[in-house]
Amino acid sequence: MDEYTPMRKNITYWIKIILLLVLLQSCKSTTTLMKQEATLADKMGSRQTEYLYNRIKEIAKVGYAFGHQDATAYGMGWKNDGSIKRSDVHDVSGAYPAVYGFELGHIELGHSINLDTVDFKLMQKLIQRAHKMRGIVTLSWHPDNPVSKKSAWDTTAAVTEILKGGNLHNEYKEWLSKLANFMNELKDESGNSIPVVFRPFHEMNGDWFWWGKGNCSPEEYISLWRETFDILTKEYSVHNMLYAYSPNTLEKKEDYLKYYPGDLYVDILGIDIYQHGSSEEFIEALKNDIGLLQKIATDKNKPYVLSEAGLNEIPIANWWTEVLDRHIAKSGISWALFWRNAWPNHYFAPYPGQASASDFILYKNLSHVLFLNDVKKIR
Ligand code: BMA
């Protein structure tokens, strides 16, 4: 008789326990996998776009990338005519930024230069170069007011006019088709589309743009975002963009998600924080707003960034290391982008001889602040 001995009972018991543990482990790794492989907002997003998204997440594990708007297009006292490789940041520190911001304003009008006089053909070339060097490209867009035909800062009510059913909907689609053409023509040497981070309609919690607070309702803003996303991805087949949402410094915590178009329409969470007053106020905003951003983004499993920042004319000699970096170093952001070096009283990155230049070199040497040669290594 095959007796069920205590010894066999014991073995069966342990086999069951092991099987259970294996099962639990595989469930756990499936959920971790699902968490890690968050898909793109654009379900048809290219393989390269997905790769960019994963790199952006990887960067935050090492530090944060340094970015500069229009870095290679112009700087203090110089303008790129297409023949030079230059950047103020490089002139000062010997390193090129890791993140390159460019501006699409006036592409919608079919102009050959943007609202800041950067030639779109040159921009295309500079994006190709930044991408080839494994830098990251982010595009802002300050479209003119579609009703008044004045600038993005003209706050004449316009959003409902361009939404589906509005009088200017078709005109808005024409605008988007021009933006889409630019995106669809943005190719690398092998003919693959170059992936970028698109950051339209930013600072909507401020009242200075036609898409901002008081000039449209949060619901209208959300429709504007979603319709724009749908037209670009579904009608114009643009599949090389990650979408970044970026309010301005918050007045109230609740403001962050007030205009949020939804997890299915956003890949990256950002915030624009400038120092307009004292360093203390700025530090408070960095701590509070990035702290909140970190919580929201972690919960949504999305990367997050300081999408715009800066102190105009940087008159504080140790601003980079003591005011800025000390308060964002451990925040988990993937990058911090500083605004453009436009003219002598409107610049946000140092140039040789500028008051914060030597501190910037110390800042550049911090191991967690990543420039082009550092992000290059991140796969
Ligand atoms: C603003 C200023 C403007 C510029 C706009 C878009 O912050 O720098 O001069 O036109 O950004 O780049």
Q: Whose CA is nearest to atom 4 of ligand 1?
A: 116
Rounded (10°) angle between helices 169-185 and 120-132: 50
Q: Which residues contact 114 (CB under 8 A, 6 or more apart)?
A: 103, 104, 105, 106, 107, 120, 123
Q: What is the pLDDT of residues 232-278, one digit of tens each?
A: 999 999 999 999 999 999 999 999 999 999 999 999 999 999 999 99
**Ligand 1 contact, 322 CB (< 6 A):** no
- Third-level CATH fold of 36-375: TIM Barrel (3.20.20)
Rounding to the nearest 10 degrees, give the CA dihedral for residues 3, 6, 7, 10. 120
CA–CA distance from 369 to each of 259, 377, 378 (Å)? 31, 14, 13
Candidate of 340, 346, 347 to mutate for ligand 1, largest count of ligand atoms within 8 Å of Cβ: 340
**Which atom of ligand 1 has the smallest separation from the CA of 103?**
12
The residue ranges of DSSP E strands in 188-293, in sequence order, are 196-200, 241-245, 268-274
The size of the chain, in residues, is: 379
Q: What percent of the chain has pLDDT over 90?
A: 89
Distance of CA 317 to the CA centre of its chain: 28
State how far the Cα of 276 lies from the Cα of 325, in Å rounded to an integer: 17
Tell whether the model's pLDDT for residue 179 goes beyond 90. Answer: yes
Which of residues 17 and 270 earns the better pLDDT score? 270
Mean pLDDT of the chain: 93
pLDDT band at 32, cuts 50/70/90? very low
User: Measured in angstroms, how far is the CA atom of residue 44 from the centroid of ligand 1?
Assistant: 32
Tell whether the model's pLDDT for residue 327 goes beyond 60. Answer: yes
**Ligand 1 contact, 106 CB (< 6 A):** no
User: Measured in angstroms, how far is the CA atom of residue 293 from the centroid of ligand 1?
Assistant: 24
User: Measured in angstroms, how far is the CA atom of residue 38 from the centroid of ligand 1?
Assistant: 33
Tell whether the model's pLDDT for residue 31 goes beyond 50. Answer: no
pLDDT band at 11, cuts 50/70/90? low
Closest by Cα among 13, 8, 69 to 312: 69
Domain boundaries, the chain: 36-375
Residue 37 pLDDT = 54
**Token digits of residue 169:** 């909907």
Tell whether the model's pLDDT for residue 112 goes beyond 90. Answer: yes
Residue 52 pLDDT = 98
Closest by Cα among 247, 137, 149, 225 to 183: 137
Q: What is the pLDDT of residues 66-83, one digit of tens each?
A: 999 999 999 999 999 999
Q: Where are the alpha helices (DSSP H) in 313-356?
A: 326-328
H or E, element range at 61: helix 47-62
Q: Which amino acid is at 113?
A: I
Residue 193 pLDDT = 98
**Which atom of ligand 1 has the smallest separation from the CA of 116?**
10
Question: Can you give the C-alpha Rg of the chain in angstroms?
Answer: 24
User: Measured in angstroms, how far is the CA atom of residue 179 from the centroid of ligand 1?
Assistant: 19
